[in-house]
Amino acid sequence: MKVHVCSSCTHDGAFVKTVQDALADCDVLSVDCMSGCAHAQTVAFHSAGKTAYLFGDITVDDLPALQNFARLYQASSDGNFTDARVLGDLRTKAIARIPG
């Protein structure tokens, strides 16, 4: 699983390191821009053959929800969830869900 974090959403890109520390078991990569500027800070999850997710308006307060999502996403066979409520507050921060 790869997690992409926009480095241009913050002036110094420091949020990338924050997410790397919080999701130490994931491959967290910095990306210049994910065109989610209206919803900065953006974070995307994707894995081969799975639905990908782009979340926006992410703050440090969302780190526990990102950790939970990473666990659920990793355990999912296709990246889909029958009930979006398992995503917690992230379900209201979803910008895109891209079929795998």
**CATH number of 69's domain:** 3.40.30
Give the predicted TM-score (pTM) of the model: 0.94
pLDDT for the residue 98? 95
Domain limits for position 67 = 2-98
d(CA 34, CA 23): 19
Domain total of the chain: 1
pLDDT in tens, 23-82: 999 999 999 999 999 999 999 999 999 999 999 999 999 999 999 999 999 999 999 999
What is the rounded CA–CA span in Å between residue 43 and residue 6? 7
Q: Residue 74: enclosing H or E segment and its boundaries?
A: helix 63-75
> Do residues 56 and 97 touch, judged by C-beta distance below 8 A?
no
Q: DSSP assignment of 3-72, as one string?
A: EEEESSSSTT-HHHHHHHHHTTTSEEEEES--S-GGG-S-EEEE-TTS-EEEE-S--GGGHHHHHHHHHH
